Amino acid sequence: MLRQHLPLFSSSSYSPIYMALSRLTRQNSHRLPPASTKTSSRSTIMSSSSPSAASVPFESPRKVVKKVLSLSQSEGDGATVRRSIGGHELRNLDPFLLLDEFSVSKPGGFPDHPHRGFETVTYMLHGAFTHQDFSGRKGTIRTGDVQWMTAGRGIVHSEMPASNGVQKGLQLWINLASKDKMIEPRYQELKSKDISQAEKHGVKVRIIAGEAFGVRSPVYTRTPTMYMDFTMQPGSQLHQPILEGWNAFVYIIEGEGVFGREGDVAASAHHCLVLGAGDGLSVWNRSGALLRFVLAAGQPLNEPVVQQGLFVMNSRAQIQQAMQDYYYGRNGFEKASQWSSA
């Protein structure tokens, strides 16, 4: 999605490269120093939910260590987003760079803009969005569909409403390792009916990436990731293993629930909950209404992160190179200057 950023490099504030990109981006530059992490050797992620489960089945249950309320803000062209990851309170959560809950109606949207160095995962909650890019690719995702786009070395695309009324969804940005930042772009798209699903004891899950209840998603994650959409009936509980060493968060779409420890205060819609270390997450729905949330976890890359708006690389020199490549139409952006979306 289009993000508006202030200039990062003051020395080039009046260059033609900057002037071209400043209309698209504003500054959100930060670095993450490498850090060590412990990764579990477990290769299978399973879920269990049972009203009779009296105790948490984890040696080290994950607790909520940070709670962020995502507030509405303007974005793109007439769109509104609730940004949790990527905002001031939570710059990133390695390997996750951004999470937006978006809401947009015609004629608004996210017109032509570039990306380099990461992946975008768009999950439609309601309505339809049409995506076009400078390679000639065009398609529409509708309620329940997923588009997993690897921008790699460069994409210029647009994302616009495809039906009347308000279109709603989630967009998650996942960083790519330095060795993968300049790979060729690729797409993985799943229609709602093709997304792996499972249901047990009042808990239903749509598995966008990873595995739950013994069911695995067909999506390939270049940066190892799990991403799931859970709906819990009143009175149900869930115990979801998460690989040790992976960073994880919950974003609540609807309702309220208790996350992490049984005695904690319930969290409600539009909150992002960062989970601490451990081997699994427990959730209880003690309300009289449905609880719906997404759970995402990913293996940290532990690499420097330098971001200039829509480009995410490992150094300022690489960011400057990306800006030059986009402006001059080279190294993956050869079609940029001759293309505009319909």
Q: What is the pLDDT of residues 296-313, one digit of tens each?
A: 999 999 999 999 999 999
1 located within any domain: no
pTM: 0.87
Q: What are phi and psi of 175, to 5 degrees?
A: -70, 155
Show Cβ contacts of residue 337 under 8 Å, excluding neighbours closer than 6 positions: 329
Residue 208 belongs to what domain range? 10-328
Say what the pLDDT of residue 321 is: 98
2 located within any domain: no
Q: Measured between alpha carbons, how far is 84 from 264 in angstroms, rounded to an integer? A: 21
Half-sphere exposure of 170 (CA within 13 A, CB side): 28
Q: Measured between alpha carbons, how far is 207 from 47 in angstroms, rounded to an integer? A: 11
281 located within any domain: yes
Q: Measured between alpha carbons, how far is 283 from 275 in angstroms, rounded to an integer? A: 12
Q: What are phi and psi of 160, to 5 degrees?
A: -135, 150
Q: What is the pLDDT of residues 84-100, one digit of tens each?
A: 999 999 999 999 999 99
55 located within any domain: yes
**270 among the known binding-site residues?**
no
Say what the pLDDT of residue 218 is: 95
**101 among the known binding-site residues?**
no
Token pair for residue 297? 């976890």
Please tell me the total number of residues recorded for the chain in this structure. 342
Say what the pLDDT of residue 1 is: 67
334 located within any domain: no
Strand order from edge to edge, sheet including 237-241:
237-241, 280-284, 256-259, 267-268
**157 among the known binding-site residues?**
yes
How many of the other CB atoms lie within 10 Å of CB of 202? 17
339 located within any domain: no
> What residue ranges of the chain have pLDDT lower than 70?
1-55
Say what the pLDDT of residue 342 is: 74
> CATH code at 241?
2.60.120.10
Residue type at 18 in one-letter notation: Y
337 located within any domain: no
Say what the pLDDT of residue 69 is: 98
**201 among the known binding-site residues?**
no
Say what the pLDDT of residue 25 is: 45
List the end-to-end C-alpha distance of the chain, in Å, as a whole number.
17
Q: Report the 3 state secondary structure along the chain.
A: CCCCCCCCCHHHCCCHHHHHHHCCCCCCCCCCCCCCCCCCCCCCCCCECCCCCCCCCCCCECCEEEEEECCEEEECECEEEEECCCCCCCCCECCEEEEEEEEECCCCEEEEEEEECEEEEEEEEECEEEEEECCCCEEEEECCCEEEEECCCCEEEEEEECCCCCEEEEEEEEECCHHHCCCCCEEEEECHHHCEEEEECCEEEEEEECEECCEECCCCCCCCEEEEEEEECCCCEEEEECCCCCEEEEEEEECEEEECCCCCCCEECCEEEEECCCCEEEEECCCCCCEEEEEEEECCCCCCCEEECCEEECCHHHHHHHHHHHHHCCCCCCCCCCCCCC
193 located within any domain: yes
Count up the domains in the chain and report the number.
1
Query: Before 107, cis peptide (omega within 30)?
Result: yes
Say what the pLDDT of residue 57 is: 85
